[in-house]
Amino acid sequence: TPESAERTAVPGVATGLAVTGAGGDVLFVEAAAMESEHGGLELTGQLGDVMKESAQIALSYLRANAERLGVPIEDLTHRRVHVHFPAGAVPKDGPSAGVTLTTALASLLTGRLVRAEIGMTGEVSLTGRVLPIGGVKQKLLAAHRAGLTEVIIPARNGPDLDDLPEDVLAQLTVHQVSDVADVLRIALEPAAGAATKAA
Amino acid sequence: TPESAERTAVPGVATGLAVTGAGGDVLFVEAAAMESEHGGLELTGQLGDVMKESAQIALSYLRANAERLGVPIEDLTHRRVHVHFPAGAVPKDGPSAGVTLTTALASLLTGRLVRAEIGMTGEVSLTGRVLPIGGVKQKLLAAHRAGLTEVIIPARNGPDLDDLPEDVLAQLTVHQVSDVADVLRIALEPAAGAATKAA
Amino acid sequence: TPESAERTAVPGVATGLAVTGAGGDVLFVEAAAMESEHGGLELTGQLGDVMKESAQIALSYLRANAERLGVPIEDLTHRRVHVHFPAGAVPKDGPSAGVTLTTALASLLTGRLVRAEIGMTGEVSLTGRVLPIGGVKQKLLAAHRAGLTEVIIPARNGPDLDDLPEDVLAQLTVHQVSDVADVLRIALEPAAGAATKAA
Amino acid sequence: TPESAERTAVPGVATGLAVTGAGGDVLFVEAAAMESEHGGLELTGQLGDVMKESAQIALSYLRANAERLGVPIEDLTHRRVHVHFPAGAVPKDGPSAGVTLTTALASLLTGRLVRAEIGMTGEVSLTGRVLPIGGVKQKLLAAHRAGLTEVIIPARNGPDLDDLPEDVLAQLTVHQVSDVADVLRIALEPAAGAATKAA
Amino acid sequence: TPESAERTAVPGVATGLAVTGAGGDVLFVEAAAMESEHGGLELTGQLGDVMKESAQIALSYLRANAERLGVPIEDLTHRRVHVHFPAGAVPKDGPSAGVTLTTALASLLTGRLVRAEIGMTGEVSLTGRVLPIGGVKQKLLAAHRAGLTEVIIPARNGPDLDDLPEDVLAQLTVHQVSDVADVLRIALEPAAGAATKAA
Amino acid sequence: TPESAERTAVPGVATGLAVTGAGGDVLFVEAAAMESEHGGLELTGQLGDVMKESAQIALSYLRANAERLGVPIEDLTHRRVHVHFPAGAVPKDGPSAGVTLTTALASLLTGRLVRAEIGMTGEVSLTGRVLPIGGVKQKLLAAHRAGLTEVIIPARNGPDLDDLPEDVLAQLTVHQVSDVADVLRIALEPAAGAATKAA
Ligand SMILES: [Ca+2]
Ligand SMILES: [Ca+2]
Ligand SMILES: [Ca+2]
Ligand SMILES: [Ca+2]
Ligand SMILES: [Ca+2]
Ligand SMILES: [Ca+2]
Ligand SMILES: [Ca+2]
Ligand SMILES: [Ca+2]
Ligand SMILES: [Ca+2]
Ligand SMILES: [Ca+2]
Ligand SMILES: [Ca+2]
Ligand SMILES: [Ca+2]
């Protein structure tokens, strides 16, 4: 999928799946960090309250579990994080971008790219549980249309896969997860220096 | 009860009992802490004003009574506390999560797990009084359905137990409390190193 | 009165008198303090604007007159004060809790308990004047019903005592005050170490 | 006038004149200061926007002209000023308390009492100009009824004096001012140590 | 014109021209500065959003161009600036006070008085461009009525001068400007020490 | 085009293209910086929420990519940035000023002027992607009318060029871009000292 390849070519961008008025769609979450006297989280993209809370939860989860996840988070007291959902004029809401937000932030903070062929959806709780969301059928059809070959969905949404045509499912690797740490394991490329280190 | 066992397997999570449009239900309160230049309390889960105040009260109670309760609270001037109520898109309100909030925060700050088989409900005042709440019947039926075997309710709600079927009551250990310090004594597992220390 | 004895058994709690939809009632004001980088006043209990201002006035009065009143207030630049009015879900408003707020805060800051048998009502101005309020009849009947034996009312409300049945008045000691310093003198127990010191 | 004598017996209180639904009335402005990490202005008494701005203007005027007026203002960066208008539940608005606010604050900061027999009304601009207000007739009748013997009004309101009965005017000393520095000169008692110093 | 002479007799006051419901009018912008831990801009006079933004723009223009304009602006990080538009109870809005705001602030910061015989109107952009405004005819008639002899208007409003009676124009010196630096050059008196320095 | 030449004669000003009720129009974005204790972004010009977010995105993009773009951004922790859209009283909204905002800020921070003959439109994402916008036909007609000879549009808006008359297109150089770094390369003049350095 050319678009997601181009978009995820820098750390801090992850590919999400959403339901809009016109069916399912692929959307991109962008995260950037900058020096600042104080830490903080800046959110743009005409986000509703639930989606803003999802971003707070994603950042808190990473900060509270930084050591275990291998995410270097210490310097967030003097770095400000900005998360944006293009397109900027389209209102967006809901909890289902939780896994995408967590992945984009983990990518930003570790410098590891998000795999371009993968799209994802799922609510995340503060302890990292992946909770079920709606619109699985439309989201996976949109992922397929956009040329993605792997998708991550909440384990509790497994039954929704029955609603998808068999030929679509045959072309998608579907990961069913219940812990967002597994999302990071599946979606993030190895660290740039990893191969070298192993050598 | 598999779900509460899984959810309360990390410090900072307590099992509450609530009344929703569809009867009683089990809900989980999640708390996490992270390094921060300033202390502070971050609340998510689409909480109403009364529930936000319950969280402020729970934290103030623990800070003002830290020494007596054995809760290490000193470092809260440089740690930020985040409390989340999943599911993130469902609006929630009311004072009855007071005991659950206090327990989740005490668990987070002491590192002691909350016992998985226990659910709780009750308003908490700033001095730690446990005040009566509504919906005891639906809440205890929900606890029973969810496989919990012990529940904590306010002492002043004792008369409401008459409304429950005898077979349900026979399978539930009901703790009637008037001081939230008793809730903590009942609901928290011993500290991890306690047995060792005693040896 | 068992309830007020139990509630006022810790410093920082005073017994107020209020008018509700269902006549007069006894309510408790709870205050607690905690270490904090910055001072500040935290208010909970679904308070209206006038009642929030009453709490600001009470705290300012004590800070501006600390030395004269013997209230140790210096450390309030690094202690945060939380005032709560149970029950948490019931909206409350009006200026008549001014004396109760001032007494609860003075109790908290001096460590002197509030006398359990006493209830009070009255607006307080920034210079400590006790101003008249409404509902004296219902409030004193409620105090009597709750087993309180002493009440404090504004001097300017003296004429309202005519509306009360003689047998109720016969069982109540009524203090009519115009300066909140007199309220503190009447309502606070001696300091714990006072007898010892005198010995 | 007994009430204003009692109210203005401490520094920081000045007697204003207002128009209410029930004609003119006497009101008191109370100011207090307290130690604080940061300076700031706290306003209570259910004040409207215009009245809140009047308080900001009064404080800025005194700070910007402190040296010329002999008002010790340096320590306001570490003292917080609280201004209250009793009664606390009555909404109040309008610019005409400007001179009263300036006088109360100057009294607080210099420790000089406000003369008990004097009432005042007038808008104040940031450079200390006294601007005309409405309701002069009702305000002076109220001052007279309350037993005040001197009043301060804006010079531009001079023509309004024609509306008052001659016998009332005969018992009132009316000061017509255009600069708020003159209000302070007329309304403030000499400093407590002034006579001693002169001896 | 007696009023503007009196009002502009201190640094920080400039004479503006406005359109009100009753035709054109002269208004005064007052600025004052005071010591403060933090810089900042305080606005009073019941200003609308556009007028508040005009004040922010005026201050930013002076800060960004301080050196070129000879305005000593360094100490604004520890001085607070207050701008007030009397009369305090009259709501005001619109961008046309931009030149007046910039001139009042420059007068305050340099200590140079604003010339008493001059009135002005015009929007100012962040780079100091003077942009056209409405109501030139009413504003100049008001200036003439108030006894002002010079006015400053935006160059792009030149054509509006045709609407004025010849005898009024004959008595007014009209400055047409496109850069607010020219407004400052025309409207500010020389620095108090300038003649001495030149001697 | 005389106006844009005059407006863009200082660093920090870029020429945008907008659609208004009356068709397309040219607008100018002005940016200025000033010393401040804290960094921060100040926005004026009656901007809507989406446009305010565009300014946050532009500044975050430049801060996060400062080194790669050659934009000296370090000192933004002690410099405050103000962005203004004249005319001040006209409400403005939408994401299509993203490229203009980014260019004006880059001009301000590098001191390089924006080329006077160039107008631009396009949404910018946080990673610098240039996203499509509406109104290309009206915007390019307005650019042509205003005497601009070059325009920058999003690459994805290429098809919209078919709607323009051939003679207009013949007189405009149209740059189609997908990365805002290309906008900066096209629109900014070389640094003032660049030729000297090369010599
Ligand atoms: Ca798409
Ligand atoms: Ca959603
Ligand atoms: Ca459930
Ligand atoms: Ca509830
Ligand atoms: Ca009661
Ligand atoms: Ca009341
Ligand atoms: Ca009165
Ligand atoms: Ca008034
Ligand atoms: Ca006038
Ligand atoms: Ca205007
Ligand atoms: Ca134009
Ligand atoms: Ca737009």
Band of pLDDT at residue F194, cut at 50, 70 and 90: low
Nearest to C133 by CA among C4, C14, C19, C13: C19
C-alpha B55 – ligand 4 centre gap (Å): 13
**Range in A134-143, B34-43, D161-170, F23-32 the model is least confident about:** B34-43
**Quick one: pLDDT at residue F199?**
42
**pLDDT tens-digit profile, chain A (199 residues):** 568 899 999 999 999 999 988 889 999 999 999 988 778 899 999 999 999 999 999 999 999 999 999 988 777 778 899 999 999 999 999 999 999 999 999 999 999 999 999 999 999 999 999 999 999 999 999 999 999 999 999 999 999 999 999 999 999 999 999 999 999 999 999 987 654 444 4
Q: D28: which chain C residues are within 8 Å (Cβ-Cβ)?
A: 125
Judge whether C125 is closer than 8 Å to chain D, CB to CB: yes
Angstroms from B32 CA to nearest CA on chain A? 6
**Quick one: pLDDT at residue D192?**
74
What is the domain-level CATH number for residue A81? 3.30.230.10
- Is F178 considered catalytic here? no
As a dihedral over the C-alpha atoms of residue E110, residue E115, residue E121, residue E125, rounded to 10 degrees, the angle is -20
Judge whether D157 is closer than 8 Å to chain E, CB to CB: no
Is residue D76 one of the residues assigned to a domain?
yes
**Quick one: pLDDT at residue D104?**
98
Q: Is the pLDDT assigned to residue D112 strictly greater than 50?
A: yes
Range of the domain at B108: 2-191
**Quick one: pLDDT at residue B197?**
44
Q: Do chains C and A touch (3 or more CB pairs under 8 A)?
A: no
Judge whether A100 is closer than 8 Å to chain B, CB to CB: no
Angstroms from C166 CA to nearest CA on chain D? 31
**Quick one: pLDDT at residue B76?**
77
Is residue E197 one of the residues assigned to a domain?
no
Judge whether C68 is closer than 8 Å to chain D, CB to CB: no
C-alpha D125 – ligand 10 centre gap (Å): 21
**Quick one: pLDDT at residue B2?**
67
Overall number of domains in chain C: 1
Is residue B199 one of the residues assigned to a domain?
no
Ligand number with the minimum distance to the CA of F28: 11
Q: E33: which chain D residues are within 8 Å (Cβ-Cβ)?
A: 64
Q: List the chains bordering chain E where 3 or more Cβ pairs fall under 8 Å.
A: D, F
Band of pLDDT at residue E20, cut at 50, 70 and 90: confident
Is residue A198 one of the residues assigned to a domain?
no
- What is residue D85's DSSP assignment? -
Q: Is the pLDDT assigned to residue D199 strictly greater than 80?
A: no
Q: Residue E140 and residue E147: Cα distance in Å, rounded? A: 11
pLDDT in tens, C69-122: 998 876 777 889 999 999 989 999 999 999 999 999 999 999 999 999 999 999
Q: Is the pLDDT assigned to residue C133 strictly greater than 70?
A: yes
Ligand number with the minimum distance to the CA of E146: 9
Band of pLDDT at residue F2, cut at 50, 70 and 90: low
- Taking residue A145's Cβ as centre, other Cβ atoms within 10 Å add up to 14
- Taking residue F106's Cβ as centre, other Cβ atoms within 10 Å add up to 29
- Nearest by CB: D53 against E30, E35, E44: E44
Judge whether A135 is closer than 8 Å to chain B, CB to CB: no
Q: Is the pLDDT assigned to residue C186 strictly greater than 80?
A: yes
C-alpha D19 – ligand 8 centre gap (Å): 7
The residue of B29, B42, B44, B51 whose CB has the most chain A CBs within 10 angstroms, and thus the best one to mutate to test that interface, is: B44
Question: Which percentage of chain B shows pLDDT scores above 70?
Answer: 94
Phi-psi region of D186 (alpha: psi -120 to 50; beta: other; left: phi over 0): alpha
**Quick one: pLDDT at residue E22?**
81
A:F CB pairs within 8 Å: 70
Q: Do chains F and A touch (3 or more CB pairs under 8 A)?
A: yes
Judge whether B127 is closer than 8 Å to chain C, CB to CB: yes
If you average pLDDT over residues E61-74, what whole number do you get? 90
**Contact assessment for residue D127 and residue E7, using Cβ atoms and an 8 Å cutoff:** yes
Q: Is the pLDDT assigned to residue F167 strictly greater than 90?
A: yes
Q: Is the pLDDT assigned to residue C198 strictly greater than 60?
A: no
**Quick one: pLDDT at residue F198?**
43
**Quick one: pLDDT at residue A199?**
43
If you average pLDDT over residues C170-181, what whole number do you get? 98
If you average pLDDT over residues D143-159, what whole number do you get? 97
Task: Kindly determine whether residue F12 and residue E50, on different chains, have CB atoms separated by under 8 Å.
Answer: no
Band of pLDDT at residue E54, cut at 50, 70 and 90: very high
**Quick one: pLDDT at residue B199?**
43
Q: Residue D146 and residue A61: Cα distance in Å, rounded? A: 65
Is residue B74 one of the residues assigned to a domain?
yes
Task: Kindly determine whether residue E13 and residue D131, on different chains, have CB atoms separated by under 8 Å.
Answer: no
- Is A36 considered catalytic here? no
Angstroms from F64 CA to nearest CA on chain A? 5
Helix, coil or strand: residue D158: helix
Band of pLDDT at residue D81, cut at 50, 70 and 90: very high
**Quick one: pLDDT at residue A133?**
97
**Range in A87-91, D121-125, F195-199 the model is least confident about:** F195-199
Q: D60: which chain E residues are within 8 Å (Cβ-Cβ)?
A: 32, 34, 42, 82, 84
Q: Is the pLDDT assigned to residue D84 strictly greater than 80?
A: yes
The most confident of A45-59, C17-31, E76-90, by mean pLDDT: A45-59
Q: List the chains bordering chain F where 3 or more Cβ pairs fall under 8 Å.
A: A, E
- Nearest by CB: E37 against D39, D98, D129: D39
Is residue D48 one of the residues assigned to a domain?
yes
Q: List the chains bordering chain A where 3 or more Cβ pairs fall under 8 Å.
A: B, F
Q: Residue E85 and residue D155: Cα distance in Å, rounded? A: 20
If you average pLDDT over residues B31-49, what whole number do you get? 91
If you average pLDDT over residues F154-178, what whole number do you get? 97
Is residue F199 one of the residues assigned to a domain?
no
Q: Do chains F and B touch (3 or more CB pairs under 8 A)?
A: no
C-alpha A90 – ligand 12 centre gap (Å): 12
Q: D57: which chain E residues are within 8 Å (Cβ-Cβ)?
A: 44, 82, 84, 88
**Quick one: pLDDT at residue C199?**
42
pLDDT in tens, E94-104: 999 999 999 99
pLDDT in tens, E141-180: 999 999 999 999 999 999 999 999 999 999 999 999 999 9
- What is residue B112's DSSP assignment? P
Is residue C87 one of the residues assigned to a domain?
yes
Ligand number with the minimum distance to the CA of A97: 2
Q: What's the one-letter identity of residue B102?
A: T
